[in-house]
Structures are given as structure tokens and as C-alpha cells.
Structure 1
């Protein structure tokens, strides 16, 4: 099959696990008290890293029919990896790795891999038709350590070769997984063993690309003399491109005969950065190198891209989450000066964050029922039972489900943690965009509702929930008030990034203060100048096209990767909201609306007073919500057509 007819650039085979990374850096693994959960396993990391760099990748592995197996599959789908080969094994658990960062040299890890799902791959798991669609297959040294996975890897490699594809081999030597060390020595990278060498050498004749560290070159070549090892590999793979990774010194590649010194091979610039975590850097190198190799770039370019990806990941916590995207790699390779402590490169970290967020939202229509004080006002007015408020919010969720149907990805809800926990729990089973308020209602200066340490509070929130913060803010506020609020927003922005939550900043101009067509844009520019980059803005439904033009310019000039704006309602009458929709529809920065009281207030009053039942409340909420959804889509469609 011709290379340009392939539907996939690469299929990786082998290890797929859940990595539990200790979050306390500098201590013993024994003393870790909390862990971050990431996608893991060398070929899995590379498949995800390749997808981030624009390759069409797939993965053949097994995962358990358990929660962690579903996590792996769902996360791979989010990364854009083809999961046709991610097979569910009902008899085994998903593989697990526990890792820590002790210092710049020691990275203790424990592999939980005995009778795990990914090591149970069988040759019958190889769909040769699927593999024939791939331009290349990536096999992995760890999956040569057991007979069943060895045969599986070779069958896949032969299927790809028979269809005109290529084979890449990541030596990926972990002595513990060959039974050569104690189980507490997972970080050990080299134990000399001739049986392992013989087993690894059996596959080299099939390979077009072979990549390893110097230690891995040693085990494959059967000697600790690197040049001699490379020459031994060359005998078994006369036409393969051999690549030796050299850590901070980058890499060196050998497309032909092996010279007398490593420095005589093909190389490219390396990147000197502070080492924070070496785990995953090799997988990132492989992803970057493969991006070039599979797109027929020069060997020098492949080396440079591999070096750059490795340098980026070695500066971060985690493996797959640290992998760069293509736009991030381009930014890194620019001539801009970078700090040695790469994690302090604010611009690069922002690009990484913004270009790895889940989904792209061209439209977002949200029912906002995160209100707390307003519901208490309704209780006071109707004499209703405050214990009923949480149930009403689940009725609002039912209304959204009724309007959205199966089109969940374009719909959302704003729900609070005080009265909305039941609805939040139910919404977790759906694909809605969910945001949750953090501010103390009506506070000015801004205060947070729960813990004074907002980062501690956010660690208890599900990762998919967007943090919503309403701030009554004016760029001409009295200086002390403005600076106090800005300090709070800076704390919140930092907490959101560190806990990996998106931030929705709702900006409302205080009543009674003068404003014009540039006031909101000035406020936005002021907050950007402080380093606050919300993922979303929630703004008032102004019927001033000039103000919206200024707002769009302010956002695009300061953060072109911002997700966009949703309109708030401010309890405006329906006709007034629809008029504002018509004004903003021509502005692409506005993605939709997040409206609450206009939709729910009268319905909630009647329900709390006992004048309507659950079904009538759901029907009324759905009807009001649908009017706004339909109007938004009609007006946005007309604006796009006119443009």
C-alpha cells in the first residue's frame, strides 16, 4: 500500500498503565502522601505525544475492564489516539506504576505488572488489516520479555512490513521487568545479561529505526563499549537508522557505517535546561523524532525535534501530560531566549496549557443555576423548604438533558457546591461543560466562599469542573480596592493552573460607576497585564457593537488561545437578551451564553410555592432554555452567512 494511502502514521504496541506520581518532590517514596494520576507506559506516552505533534497514531494494548482501564481509553481518545486496538481484558487489572522524584538523579518507581492486562497481549490480538493501514509500527523492548507479547510484537511488525510500512524499535530496557532486579529497583536502567541481549537482537533485522540510550545500546549490542555495541547492532540491521540518546547532550544518529567516535555521527543542537524529572523524557524524544522521521524530514531535523521534546518534558512533572504540542514545539524552537529553569517560561507554559485542553468549543449554551443567595431569597418569598433547593437543581439538569438530547458537547451547566452537589454528581455521567462558583456571593472586595486557601479547596474538585469566579470590577476602582481584588484573582489563577482547572472569569461593572464602550476592554487589558489569563470570560450582554469590537480586540491581542466569551443574563427579560444576542452574533470571540435567572427564577418560585410539580418545572425550564438556544444558533448562523 502506498504511504500516502495509509490512514495512520503510527501504531505503537505494548505497555499501557496508570502512573501515580508522588506530588511531594525531594522525599522518599515511602513518605509520599498524595499522588497525581496520569496516563503512562512508554509506547502509550509516545502514541499520545505523537498525536499532540500532529501524527495520526494508534495503540495496541490491553487494559483491565475496570475504572483505570476506562481512564486510559478515555484519555487516549481525548489526546486524539486511535483506540481500536485498546482491548478490554475482563480477567486482569490495568497495569499500575507508582513513581516519585527524589532528586535530580533518583526517580524511584514500582511497577505493578504481574498478571496485568497489557502483558497479556496475544498474537490473536493483532488485526493485520488495521496494521496494514499504518505507515509504521513502534515496538518496545519491554514487550519482548515474555513469549506472548514477543510474538505479538513480531506479528504486528511483519504485518506492517508486508504492507509497505516501517518498523521503529524503542529498546526501552527495564531490568526489573526482565526479572533481573528486586521489585524495589524499578529505576535501575542497566543490568548486563546475555540472554536479554540475544532476545532483543532477534528483532533488529525487521527494524528501520532503532532508538536507545547508551545503556540501552549496550544491552542490545552486548557490550558496554558504545561504538562496539553500535557496530554489533549494525551487523544485524544493516539498513536501519540507529539513534543513541545522550541525555543533556542531545542525540547522535547513524544512517550508515558506524564511525570511530560518537561525535562523528549526525547530530543537531541540544537544549540545556534544568532537570526536574527524567521519567518520560525518552518517550517524548521518540515522539519528536518520529514526527520528523515519518514526515521524511532530514535526520538533523529529526534529532533536533527529538532533543527539544525531551528537554521540554524533562523540565516537568509527569510523562504524557508533559508532552508538547506542535504549536508548543514551534514556540520552543524559536530564537527567543529561554530560562534555564524551563518551567518558569510563562509563555511556553501557557501555550502548553492552552493547547492541551480538552475539546474545542465553537458553541456553548449553558443553563446557570449556581445561584445561592437568589434561591434563599426565593425561600424567604415563598416560605418554601430550603431542603428542596438541591432537588430543583437536579430538575434543571433534566431540562438541559431534554434540550441537548445526544448533542451534549455543546451544552453546559453552572452548578454550585452548596445546593448543587446532587446535580454535579449526576452531571458527571454526561459530556456537559460544567462550571462551579468559587466566590462568596455579592462580595466586593472579592472573597472566596469556602477555604481561605483556594488551592486547597480546588484539590477537592473534579478535574473537569471549570472554576467560575464573579468579580465586580472596574479599571477605575479606588486603588486599594482594585489591588486587593487583583491579588485575589492572581491567587485564584495560580491555584487553577496548579490544580489543572480551567478558569471562567465573570466580570461585572459595579452599578453606579461611569462606563463607556472601552471600559470592559480596559478592565480586561488590565487583568491580562497582571498575568491573569482566564480560559473563559463571562461578560454582560451589552447592546453596544463598539464595546464588543474593543473587547474582542483586547482578548485576541493578549491571549489568542483564549477559549472565548459567554454572555451572562443579569436577569434581563428574554426580549432584551435576544436583542443582545443579535448584537454579539457577528463576533467570533463570543461562543454562546450562560444564563440563569431569566430562565429559572419564575419557575423556581412557582415550584417552591407548590403551584407546579417536578414535571411541569422541567418542561418550563426546558422551554425557556430552548428559546435561547434556538435564537442563538439562528442569529449566529445568519451572522456567519453574512460574513
Structure 2
């Protein structure tokens, strides 16, 4: 059974790997040491924005980062030394089927990094391919058992529910209608199915929801069966500032949603502008800090309005 995590949590995620290489840098194939160092340096810009936001008012006991070992091992070490919460991914990047980044050595890598959270990103539609879902669930249960058998990281589960063709057809091919009309109930079913098969996250990382009652249903599913301390955070999904604010305001009004993980909306545009020479490094850092800090303020105000 999950231990849970119910303290406020404002995560700046920049654990992107495959998408970072191809979409930010335009690189494919194996990276050279120089390319690896260049990506690590770009991620340091994001991290410096995070540090600036913490210095500028984001509560340090709520602030955390999510970054990968490949490009961010030094960043994780520094953040831990400064007392921030950290999260590190365990999944291979850029594939539809969950598998371990480091194969059978996953535990050794988790123990080496020793983050606050071990995070997985999983695409799981309960009406999707049953064989694929079973294979993913088996691997995820192994990770869940490992994490809960050791006094180590908590289990953070990023649940993505991509539409099946028949589901999209049901809403006339409209992805926004799918998000509003079908995805919430599919997420509830996915959470229950995973829990019933031995996958016990302490924290669910949830795609944005437009309606408060859908957020409430997600929390009920996450906390069913004696899981009272299991919580949820909302993710940004790379949406624009306005949409992310809407999602944060809705989630913050619901007990059980304790924070957010907003990454690309914070850093993508400032980082692209810096790499293109349109802004200085200092300007990029300041803009990333501003965006992250403002999202933290939005969520904090929404929570304050609860009670």
C-alpha cells in the first residue's frame, strides 16, 4: 500500500530527454560528449531560474525540481545539498510503452541519485491494448514493490491517457471534447485498474482538468481503499499561460490536489530565445523564474480560498 505524500509541492520539471534533443536542438541519433554537455548547460539555465524563483519568494519547503540523471545529475546533487525536494525519472524517454531507462539496473540508479521522488511517465488507456497494458502494469508493479520495500523515494506517477481511435470518433475527432467528456472517467478507471494490480503511487501527476467535480473524482480514486494520504498534482502539458492558470485554479480548489508540475510553459520560450541569441542568459533565467513564481502564486491563492 502506498505511504502517500500530502505536503504542498510546486515542481519545475525539465526531465525531457528525447523531445529536448530533437525539438530544442534538432539532433537525432547518439549524442557526442559535446552535445550532451550543451544540453546539460541548457538545463542549468532552467535550474538557475528555479533557484532565482526560490530566492524571490517561492516557499523553499514547497519547491522542487524534476530532472533526469543523464543531463541533470549535477543539478540533482546541488538541489539536494540546498535542501530542495527532487524527482528523477525511471522511464525510457520517447516511447509509448513504459520500460525502465536502465533496465534491470533501475534500482542501482535510483539508489545512486536518491531523489525525494522516483517518477514514471506512463501512457495507459484502460480501453487500450490489453496486452500492452498488462506488460506495463507488470513492470510498474515491480517498481512499486521495490520503492515501498525500501526507505527510499516516494513513487510519483505521471498518468497520460491518450485517446483510442474509437474514443476520438465518439467525439467527432475533437481532442478538446475528448479531454472534457471522456478523459476524466478514463483516468479514474486507469487509476483503479493500476491500483488493483499492485501499482501504488504516493503521488499522481495528472493532466489538466477543466471541471472541479472531475478533479474531485480523481482524488476519490487516488485515495480509495485506505489510501488517504495519496495526493495529486496537476501538470502543464506544454499549454499556454492562460490554460495552465485555469487548470491550476481548478485543481487548487480541490482538497487532495497539493500542487503542480509545470515545465515547458515555464522554460521553453525563454530557452529558445536565449539559444537564438535574442535574450541574454540572465534574461532567460529571470523569465523562467517569473513564470514559475507566478504559477506558484496562482496555486497558493487557490488553496487559500479553500478555507
TM-score (norm 1): 0.42
Q: Does the 8 Å CA contact 2:184/2:209 hold for their aligned counterparts? A: no
2:245 maps to 1:578: yes
Question: Deviation of residue 585 (structure 1)?
Answer: 2.1
2:35 maps to 1:390: no
1:450 is matched with which residue: 102, 109, 123? 102
Count residues with an aligned counterpart: 282
Question: Deviation of residue 408 (structure 1)?
Answer: 1.2
Question: Deviation of residue 428 (structure 1)?
Answer: 1.7
1:42-191 alignment, distance < 5 Å: none
Q: Does the 8 Å CA contact 2:125/2:163 hold for their aligned counterparts? A: no
1:480 is matched with which residue: 116, 131, 144? 131
1:378 is matched with which residue: 8, 21, 24? 24
The alignment partner of 2:97 has SS state of coil
Question: Deviation of residue 584 (structure 1)?
Answer: 1.8
Question: Deviation of residue 361 (structure 1)?
Answer: 4.3
Change (3 A) 1:516 1:415: closer
Flag the structure with larger Rg: 1
2:39 maps to 1:365: no
> Could you say which residue in structure 1 is the equivalent of 2:119?
468
2:105 maps to 1:438: no
Change (3 A) 1:563 1:430: farther
> Could you say which residue in structure 1 is the equivalent of 2:156?
504
The alignment partner of 2:26 has SS state of helix
Q: Does the 8 Å CA contact 2:123/2:159 hold for their aligned counterparts? A: yes
Change (3 A) 1:418 1:621: same
Q: Does the 8 Å CA contact 1:468/1:506 hold for their aligned counterparts? A: yes
The alignment partner of 1:468 has SS state of strand
2:173 maps to 1:533: no
Q: Does the 8 Å CA contact 2:223/2:231 hold for their aligned counterparts? A: no
Higher helix share: 2
The alignment partner of 1:380 has SS state of coil
Question: Deviation of residue 417 (structure 1)?
Answer: 0.6
The alignment partner of 2:120 has SS state of strand
Q: Does the 8 Å CA contact 1:533/1:559 hold for their aligned counterparts? A: no
Q: C-alpha separation between the residues in 2 aligned to 1:415 and 1:393? A: 9
Q: Does the 8 Å CA contact 2:11/2:63 hold for their aligned counterparts? A: yes
Q: C-alpha separation between the residues in 1 aligned to 2:38 and 2:264? A: 18
Question: Deviation of residue 621 (structure 1)?
Answer: 0.5
Question: Deviation of residue 411 (structure 1)?
Answer: 0.6
Q: Does the 8 Å CA contact 1:394/1:422 hold for their aligned counterparts? A: no
Q: C-alpha separation between the residues in 2 aligned to 1:402 and 1:563? A: 30
The alignment partner of 1:401 has SS state of helix
Q: C-alpha separation between the residues in 2 aligned to 1:388 and 1:586? A: 40
Question: Deviation of residue 550 (structure 1)?
Answer: 1.5
**Which one scores higher on RCO, CA 8 angstroms, separation ≥ 6?**
2
> Could you say which residue in structure 2 is the equivalent of 1:138?
none
Mark the runs of 5 or more structure 2 residues left unpaired by the alignment: 28-33, 168-181
TM-score (norm 2): 0.85
> Could you say which residue in structure 1 is the equivalent of 2:257?
590
The 10-residue stretch of structure 1 (604-613 or 478-487) with the greater mean CA deviation from structure 2: 604-613
> Could you say which residue in structure 2 is the equivalent of 1:551?
218
> Could you say which residue in structure 2 is the equivalent of 1:402?
52
Q: C-alpha separation between the residues in 2 aligned to 1:569 and 1:410? A: 17
Question: Deviation of residue 466 (structure 1)?
Answer: 1.1
Q: C-alpha separation between the residues in 2 aligned to 1:516 and 1:537? A: 15
> Could you say which residue in structure 2 is the equivalent of 1:495?
146
Q: Does the 8 Å CA contact 1:415/1:435 hold for their aligned counterparts? A: yes
Q: C-alpha separation between the residues in 2 aligned to 1:485 and 1:373? A: 20
The alignment partner of 2:103 has SS state of coil
> Could you say which residue in structure 1 is the equivalent of 2:75?
423
Q: Deviations over 1:366-407 (max 9, x none)?
A: 1111111222121118xx955322122222222222222383
Q: C-alpha separation between the residues in 2 aligned to 1:608 and 1:363? A: 33
